[in-house]
Structure 1
Amino acid sequence: MSLAKQLQQLKGQSCHEGYLTIYLRTDQTSNDQQRGEWKIRLKNGLKKIEEYIPSENEENKKAYKKIKSKAIEAIYSLQTELPKSLVLIASPNGDFYLRKLQIPVENEFFWEKQPRTEQLERLNKEYPIEGIIYIQKEDIFMIETSLGEVNKERLYDLEIDKEDWKQYDGVAASERMARRANHRDKYEQRFEANQQRAYKDLACLIQKEAEKNKWSTIYLVGETGLVTEFEKHLMFPTVKKVDKNYKNFSSKEIVGQVVVS
């Protein structure tokens, strides 16, 4: 389910006892996180909420402690595979939402009648659905991304003998990208002669994909000459060019370099 749909559901929920909302940065590559500082922030944030619950409201405090324990257990269960950030929204009535994010969040803790979704809404706008097109002479690698995550990946491999593009999706795309041949010298002249037509055909396919899935931006990545040539055939409102070689990068790493960094 897309984040936009999840946000619609969350915004319509309420609980008289309260909703616990946690935005927690857990990035282990960050200098301030390598000694497990996220545990301290989690402990202090939850403790501060409890201090603000009136002592006479025993029922509310009991409900909070119950959901707090579940939240701690769920977050600690992920400590061997922590993403950059976590968002947790839960209530005593059984609602429980936990999302791992590959983008940073601001540490925030709430205990209110409704989920606090403002930061999620902001992130959804900052990291909309986008496309990354990594252009090489005979291979073009497409990544659809949102929220710093890989939604879809596809490799278009130019079969020069047939003068057509062959499509590989998902894992097959990544595997072929990793082991593809780097040089096809005997086809060099033939490729140069048919480059414009090949790029025009593929640009048309990608354009349709972008419009169908409502991409906000297309990033064209690769050598300047190849990117410039491909861009000529692409009619899209927002195109950004990145002159960099990501030959040995995974899809996740490319997204991290192009969109998140």
Structure 2
Amino acid sequence: MKDIQDIVKELENVRGTGANKIFTMYLNTDLSDPDQQSGEWKIHLKNGLNNFEHYLKEADDQEELKNFRQIKQRVKDFMGEIERDLMRGVIIIASADGEVWFAERVQMHLQNEFEWQETPVLDQLKTLSEKYPKTGIILVQQNQVKLMDTNLNQVKDTAEYELDVEEDTWKMKQGPRHGRAKQGLGASSVQKDLFNDRYEANQYRWYKSIAPKLDKQAKDREWKRIFIVGEAPASKTLETEMNKEVEEVILKNMLDHEESKVLDTVLD
């Protein structure tokens, strides 16, 4: 998925012509919503689509009706494909000629809305793009730092750094994580004590040394907001040493938590 801010800019320039109008749909599919316990989104979808079809039949505009039916079928096909893997909402903006087709599940609550007019209706999409811009979440836990690159409340990419204590430098991790390096699950109590002693003595210098790497990540990924999540003093040290402004420091150890849980904690 492209960055939502770029998508909004593109859609702002979209214009339908004649019978080839633009269909806009915002659909609440949040199964945790009390109003969705029996799959009410299916009813809203059916009614929203049928209302336009009925109106166009009454208007006796055969070309426009044909165009709308093409979009209706494509929308139904898309919803059928994602029905078993829904998020909180679905946004679809489409034209019958195929020039416009934006269809995405989003992890935010939407108000049900269906439109059929010369231009796409972007109010809800713009609100989401402003509330959930490109955001970096930095998770800190002793000798590990994980970055979550997010946009529109979804994780686009992750990166992890691990401190090589012997070489005294931070390295980008490759492949899956296998535990906690020098003080990992397989380490002896003596090794753990040695690491903890070095950690206490060097933690400020270690976090200061990784701050420029994090600033570069923030610049390259064009983060508009930055959150640091981790226990003090590590998280506070990073906040102080980074040049980029940090919106909030959340004093929780969440590096090993599911990414969806981190998003819920940080962005909701």
Same structural fold, with TM-score higher than 0.5 when normalized by the shorter chain? yes
Aligned counterpart in structure 2 of residue 41 of structure 1, from 44, 57, 72? 44
- Going from structure 1 to structure 2, the CA distance change for 1:4 and 1:229 (only over 3 Å counts) comes to closer
Matches within 5 A, 1:193-232: 193-232=201-240
Contact 2:24 2:93 in 1 (8 A): yes
Structure 2: runs of 5 or more not aligned: none
Q: Secondary structure at the match of 2:110?
A: coil
Q: Structure 2: how far apart are the matches of 1:202 and 1:251?
A: 22
Deviation string 1:84-140 (CA, Å, 9 cap, x unpaired) is 211111111123221121222221110112222232122111101111111111111
Quick check: 1:244 aligned with 2:247?
Answer: no
Q: Structure 1: how far apart are the matches of 2:127 and 2:11?
A: 15
Aligned counterpart in structure 1 of residue 165 of structure 2, from 141, 160, 166? 160
Quick check: 1:79 aligned with 2:57?
Answer: no
Matches within 5 A, 1:41-60: 41-53=44-56, 54-60=58-64
Contact 2:141 2:255 in 1 (8 A): no
TM-score by length of 1: 0.89
**Number of the residue aligned with 2:11:** 10
What is the root-mean-square deviation in Å for CA atoms of aligned residues?
2.0
- Going from structure 1 to structure 2, the CA distance change for 1:11 and 1:55 (only over 3 Å counts) comes to same
Matches within 5 A, 1:140-151: 140-151=145-156
Deviation string 1:122-167 (CA, Å, 9 cap, x unpaired) is 2111101111111111111111111011122111111111111111
Quick check: 1:26 aligned with 2:29?
Answer: yes
Q: Structure 2: how far apart are the matches of 1:244 and 1:159?
A: 24
212-221 vs 137-146, which deviates more? Answer: 212-221
Q: Structure 2: how far apart are the matches of 1:185 and 1:42?
A: 60
Contact 2:3 2:151 in 1 (8 A): no
Contact 2:239 2:249 in 1 (8 A): no
Contact 1:160 1:191 in 2 (8 A): no
Q: Structure 1: how far apart are the matches of 2:51 and 2:246?
A: 44
Q: Structure 2: how far apart are the matches of 1:163 and 1:69?
A: 59
Letter matched to residue 251 of structure 1: E
Letter matched to residue 71 of structure 2: I
Deviation string 1:193-231 (CA, Å, 9 cap, x unpaired) is 221111011111111221233212211111133222222
Matches within 5 A, 1:64-143: 64-95=68-99, 96-143=101-148
Q: Structure 2: how far apart are the matches of 1:187 and 1:248?
A: 20
Contact 1:23 1:105 in 2 (8 A): yes
Deviation at 1:236, TM superposition (A): 2.5
Contact 2:141 2:253 in 1 (8 A): no
Q: Structure 2: how far apart are the matches of 1:102 and 1:225?
A: 32
Q: Secondary structure at the match of 1:150?
A: strand
**Number of the residue aligned with 2:195:** 187
Contact 2:139 2:255 in 1 (8 A): no
TM-score by length of 2: 0.87
Q: Structure 2: how far apart are the matches of 1:35 and 1:185?
A: 55
Structure 1: runs of 5 or more not aligned: none
Deviation at 1:252, TM superposition (A): 3.1
Q: Secondary structure at the match of 1:199?
A: helix
Identity %: 29
Letter matched to residue 6 of structure 2: K
Q: Tell me how many residue pairs correspond in the alignment.
A: 255
